[in-house]
Amino acid sequence: MTDALVFLMEYGAIVLFAVVFLEQIGLPIPAIPILIAAGALVGTGHLSLWATIGSTVVAALAADWIWYDLGRRRGRPVLGWLCRIALEPDSCIRKTEAFFVKHGPHSLVLAKFLPGLSTIAPPLAGIVGLGVPLFLFYDTLGAVVWTGASVGIGYVFADQLEDAFRYADQMTPVALLIMAFATLLYVAYKAVHRRRQLRNVPRITVKELTEKLKTDVPPLIIDVRPSALGAMEARIPGAIHMPLDDLGRRHFELPWDRELVLYCDCPGDVASAQGALLLGRLGFTSVRPLRGGIEAWQAYHGAAVTVEKLWTHNDDPFHGEREVQVVNL
């Protein structure tokens, strides 16, 4: 039996709690291999099934509650904190948020199985106003399903996994170190290159845009937020809604001889910057993201949005309706 398995066998509940908590809080620590190994130890009688499941579920709920509470108290800036450490910040916000809004609190059940959604789903639940009872119910259900699936794999294949671990113990540590170092370099290069590319896209400020809107040929403003969010949230007056995922196939609807301004509500304007790069590759010569997005627009022009009706239907925001009125400035 490998040293790692011996250590896990001796300090099982503590190790599982620490690993799962750190992964769910956002650190790049792979918890599933540890859970599978724990399942193998459960199958061979070296670990208690209930201690394994209990410590894992409690750790996941503890980390998720921290993010959920931050989302309720601090709002959208919490997503900015999360996406500063994400390798794909636009996916971190755009795809994950669209999935969450589309599927509602049920997405908390699937969150643990989907990269990117696991850590972001809890603060999103807090941001959109999901009630505490519903959050705890769906998040607990998701944690139990995720834990059961991972531990169950190890339990079912306990004999085969023990052989695999024994073989892994014989592998040369230098080879593993080289593989890990090469992977780290590649991931770091891709992350730095992508962020630098998006950061270098020229932006237009809210003040500049406001002045341009007074001219005879004002820019065309495009809201590139996902469909579900664009329908729920306030827009800049006069903006058209064309989600980032639709830009490629609907770009022919846009005027070639007019300045285009894209905006989103994501950290670093990553979605609108990505849209600007895409339209530039398609031949558009005057495309800029709005620096700061919708939040910068509202901050510059004051309280431009009034909400007529918020979430209804037993405090479940995904079964009610939300009406937003934009006051023209």
Give me the pLDDT at residue 211, please: 92
Is pLDDT at 134 greater than 70 in this prediction?
A: yes
Closest by CA to 269, choosing from 213, 197, 212, 188, is: 197
Distance from C-alpha of 45 to C-alpha of 40, rounded to nearest angstrom = 9
Q: What is the mean pLDDT of residues 127-151?
A: 89
Task: Using the CB atoms, write b or e for 269-285: b if 16+ within 10 Å.
Answer: bbbbbbbbbbbeeeebe
Q: Which helix or strand (DSSP H or E) is residue 263 part of?
A: strand 260-263
SS3 220: strand
Is pLDDT at 327 greater than 70 in this prediction?
A: no
Model confidence at 141, pLDDT cuts 50, 70, 90, reads very high
Give me the pLDDT at residue 288, please: 93
206-326 maps to CATH 3.40.250.10: yes
208-256 residue pLDDT tens? 999 999 999 999 999 988 764 544 566 788 889 988 888 888 888 899 8
- The CA–CA distances, whole Å, from 13 to 19, 29, 230 equal 10, 17, 44
Check if the beta carbon of residue 262 is closer than 8 Å to that of residue 172: no
Q: What pTM value is reported for the model?
A: 0.55
Distance from C-alpha of 143 to C-alpha of 118, rounded to nearest angstrom = 10
Give me the pLDDT at residue 33, please: 83
Domain residue spans in the chain? Answer: 3-170, 173-200, 206-326
Question: In degrees rounded to 5, what are phi and psi of residue 260?
Answer: -115, 135
Question: In degrees rounded to 5, what are phi and psi of residue 322?
Answer: -140, 120
Distance from C-alpha of 243 to C-alpha of 227, rounded to nearest angstrom = 6
Considering only residues 176 and 262, tell me which one the structure prediction assigns the higher pLDDT: 262
